[in-house]
Amino acid sequence: MQADIRNDLITGAAVVIFALVVLLLLVPYGVDQPGQVDLSALSPNFWPTVLGYFLLLMGGLVTGQTLWRHKKNTEPALRNTAPPEDWPGLGPVPKTLAAVALLFVYYAVLNPLGLVAASVLAMIAFTLLAGERRIVILAPLAILVPIGLYLFFQEVAQVAIPVGIFEEMLG
């Protein structure tokens, strides 16, 4: 219950802050206004402004509802007595952060290495991070899946897949 309340408070506050950023920064500086607008409702910034206020209202509503629930909820917070979970390797937070960081690394190496090589490495990294250690299963999958997808998109769907370091071999 307490965790839900904290979660909802963060959500409500984040939406309020985002709505303020939309109204005070993104709309004034991110929407180009034409020289003359006959009707304000036809203006390019009308719709984003309405949505900014709508999000501000909804974020405020979630925050208000949560504070009201918190006020009514008088039960004491339960102390966590559960035994620590068995986490092989990294804990959940570092593991999640590592997964997010790996996503950006994957994106960064797509251009120099090409989609196939980057995907082989990404599959190995993500599978190892998940905790799978059976190389006999991991290695063939990591090679066959990106190559299979490359063959489908390149040969069947006629989508030019960037092959990067394999340019000479496959290009």
Partner 1 sequence: MIEHLQTALALVFTFETIFALFAGVLIGTIIGAIPGMTVTMGVALTLPFTFSMHPVTGILLLLGVYKGGIYGGSITAILIKTPGTPAASCTVLDGYPMSQNGQARKALDIALYASCVADFISNLSLILFAGFLASFALRFGPPEFFTLIVFSLTIIAGISSDNMAKGLISAGLGLLLATVGLDLVYGTNRFVFGEVELMAGLNFIPVLIGLFALPEIINHYTKRRGSGDHIQSLGGGHATFAEFRRCLKSIIRGSAIGVVLGAIPGIGGAPSAFLSYSEARRTSPTPERFGKGEIEGVAASEAGNNGVAGSTMIPLLALGVPGDVVTAVILGAFMIHGLRPGPLLFQENIELVYGLFIGIMMSSVFLFIVGKSSIRLFSRVSQIPNDLLFPIVLVLCVYGGYAVNNTLFDILVMIIVGLLGFGMLRANVPAAPFLIAFVLGPLLEDNFRQALLLSGGSLDIFFRNGICILFWALTALSVFLILRRRRIDALSSVP
Footprint (CB under 8 A) of partner 1, residues 41-80: 41-42, 44-45, 47-48, 51-52, 54-55, 58-59, 61-62, 65
Closest contact distance (angstroms) between CB of 45 and partner 1 is 8
- Binding mask 107-146 toward partner 1 (x if CB under 8 A, else -) reads x--xx---x---x--xx--xx-xxxx----xx--xx--xx
Please state, in angstroms and rounded to a whole number, the distance separating the CA atoms of residues 21 and 44.
Answer: 18
Closest contact distance (angstroms) between CB of 169 and partner 1 is 19
Range 106-114 contact pairs with CB under 8 angstroms and sequence separation of 24 or more: 110/162, 110/164, 111/162, 111/164, 112/164, 112/165, 113/164, 113/165, 114/161, 114/162, 114/163, 114/164, 114/165, 114/166, 114/167
Closest contact distance (angstroms) between CB of 77 and partner 1 is 19
Cβ proximity to partner 1: between 77 and 87 the closer is 87
